[in-house]
Amino acid sequence: MTTFKDRATKSPSPAVATGKARTAGRYSLAEVLEILAGGRLPLRFTAYDGSSAGPPDASFGLDLKTPRGTSYLATGRGDLGLARAYIAGDLDIRGVHPGDPYELLKALADSLVFIHPPVRTMVDIIRSIGVEHLRPIAPPPQEAQPRWRRIAGGLRHSKTRDADAVHHHYDVSNTFYELVLGPSMTYTCACYPHGSASLEEAQENKYRLVFEKLRLTPGDRLLDVGCGWGGMVRYAARRGVRATGVTLSTEQAGWARRAISDEGLSDLAEVRYGDYRDVRETGFDAVSSIGLLEHIGRRNYPSYFRFLQSRLRPGGLLLNHSITRPENHHLPEARGFIDRYVFPDGELTGSGRIISDAQNIGLEVLHDENLRPHYAMTLRDWCANLVDHWDEAVAEVGLPTAKVWGLYMAGSRLGFESNGIQLHQILMTRPGNQSGVGELPLRPWWTP
């Protein structure tokens, strides 16, 4: 949400917004923020010590309400301190709805760049804040444990630890997800056929795109790993495909099974609760993985693709739909707010790494498509749903969790808009006995 760059070693003289003279070597909280921001605050900041900074007529504002909030801000690296103070209620935001703080986050991302003040100034800042606020304190209860402490739940990306991570994120409340995701109950990037399309149109179009890319026809068998609430499974079953989905979320599995029964699709559709690695059947005509790879772990990509390939018949098709980084050299681990509050143990890499690992185990890559702008639009519409149903959402999951989701979705929207993250659909095939791709058409066969 903000960036940190080394800048000039001479810090600016902070304005004393309260109009009071500053004691030598002591700064108000507002002055501390002004120094660290190089005097360029894009919003109005007020603090419990009576100080304030930033343009008085700013459209957005931050209100630091308690000393505990100061401790969170001083001890949390990057965006984690800001998130802790906000989620705990020690930092309020003004000018935006908590279900969609996009405009405030955009103002911070566009204009706020922290600096390294001179050592003497930093000493004065520490004295002003108080050493007691530099000692870490217990985070809000919504926060997951740091990675080093999660080892008690098993090695990273073991079956037990993956189940815990999925439970943290996906077993929030089906009712809450219905409020945010809408009738499709689809928690992955939509594909908008045109700029004015609704979220529901775009999600239906996404399933249509996956279905066509996999060349599914009545009587085919589809395996959908990480199937969520069964949207792809039901879409395929309505078109005569025998579809099996698997999810590590008990809440998702229960909801999906009821939806399958309500639609009269039980003869064709099935959703199982369990790990994708426990699927024993083979010979599927197609495999779809929509939003699962982010939870697999970079070092497990080869075994992941090898397993999915083993479930396919020769000549069968595999579509991997996942969030990626825009490059391939960044460390894969998510950190800070995302790791602690949203996706514990989540890992993102570039599409180049994904394609390389798929190719190295013998899959043939046929097509790669980046849907980055579509995910920004999807998040925009999810935030709009959360705003529209804010009171219901808060009643269902509590104010802190609802604030986590507003912050997460609005921040993610910024990430997709700025090309900080992307969304790639990669279509692959398990080569058959014939040379080349055999039965496949010579050119793409789906409607974009």
Angle subtended by helix axes 29-36 and 119-129, to nearest 10:
150
Where does residue 246 fall: left (phi above 0), alpha (psi -120 to 50 degrees), or beta otherwise? beta
Token pair 């990626």 is found at 324
pLDDT, residue 168, reads: 47
CA distances from residue 373 to 63, 387, 420, 440 in whole angstroms, order as listed: 33, 21, 12, 29
Q: What is the pTM of this model?
A: 0.89
| Domains of the chain (ranges, CATH numbers) | 3-134 (no CATH), 159-429 (3.40.50.150)
pLDDT, residue 146, reads: 76
Q: What share of the chain has pLDDT > 90, as a percent?
A: 79
pLDDT digit string (tens) for 370-388? Answer: 999 999 999 999 999 999 9
Look at residue 1 and give its three-state secondary structure: coil
Residue stretches of the chain with pLDDT short of 50: 1-21, 150, 168, 436
Q: Per-residue DSSP letters for 350-409?
A: BHHHHHHHHHHTTPEEEEEEE-HHHHHHHHHHHHHHHHHTHHHHHHHH-HHHHHHHHHHH
Q: Residue 62 and residue 98: Cα distance in Å, rounded?
A: 12
Token pair 């949390």 is found at 76
pLDDT digit string (tens) for 243-267? Answer: 999 999 999 999 999 999 999 999 9
pLDDT, residue 158, reads: 56
pLDDT, residue 343, reads: 79
